[in-house]
Amino acid sequence: MKTEKEKMLQSELYDAADKVLMEERVRCKDLCFEYNSLRPSLQNERQDLLKKLLGKTGNNFLIEQPFYCDYGYNIEIGENFYTNVNCTILDVAKVTFGDNVLIAPNCGFYTAEHPIDPEIRKSGLESARPITVGNNVWIGAQSIILPGVTIGDNAIIGAGSVVTKDIPANAIAVGNPCRVIKTT
C-alpha cells in the first residue's frame, strides 16, 4: 500500500493532512522563516540554508527574501538562477528550473490542484502536477505558473501573465490566460 507521500509524488490523489506530510511542511516553513529572517548581507549563510532546503541547486544562484515554499525538496534550480522578492513555490510536485532563469517580483509557481468533483474535494484529497521551466527563461513580475506547465528554453513570460498551458521554446507570451504573441 502506498504512503500519502508516495501518492503525492506520483501525482495521485493524496491526503494533505497526513502526519508525515504535515511534519515535512512545518520543517520547510521553519527553514523558510529562518531564511527570510537572515540579514541580506549574510550571503553564505543564506546560500547554505537554501542548499539545505532545496532538492537541487547550482553553484551560482540568488533567491531574494522573502521566499516561500511547501516542501523544498521538490524544487531544483540550475546555474545562474535568480528570483526577486516574494516568490512562492507550492512544490507538492517537482518544480524544475533550468540555467540562467530570471524571475521578477511576486511570482507564483503552483503545482497543487484540488478535485473538480465537490464530494472528493470535501474529503480533503488533492493532487499535483509538475512544472518545468527551461534554460534562459525570463518570467515577468506577478506572473502565475499553474500545475503541469512546461515553459521552453529562451521563452519570455510577460508581467501579470497566468500561464495555464505549455509555452514553447523561443516564445514571448503574455496575458491571462497567457498566450504566445511572438517567436524569436
Q: To the nearest whole number, what is the mean pLDDT of the chain?
A: 97
All structural domains of the chain, each given as residue ranges with its CATH number in brackets, are: 4-183 (2.160.10.10)
70 pLDDT more than 90: yes
pTM beyond 0.75: the answer is yes
* pLDDT tens column, 5-26: 999 999 999 999 999 999 999 9
* pLDDT tens column, 89-139: 999 999 999 999 999 999 999 999 999 999 999 999 999 999 999 999 999
- Residue 44's pLDDT is 95
Q: Which of 71, 76, 40, 31 is nearest to 56 (CA)?
A: 76
- Residue 184's pLDDT is 86
47 pLDDT more than 90: yes
Q: What one-character DSSP code corresponds to residue 160?
A: T
Residues 6+ apart with CB under 8 A from 98: 78, 133, 134, 135, 136, 137, 153
Q: Which of 173, 165, 174, 162 is nearest to 183 (CA)?
A: 173
157-180: average pLDDT: 98
Report the catalytic residues. 114
Q: Would you call 143 exposed, middle or buried from its count of C-beta atoms within 10 A (0-12, 13-18, 19+)?
A: buried
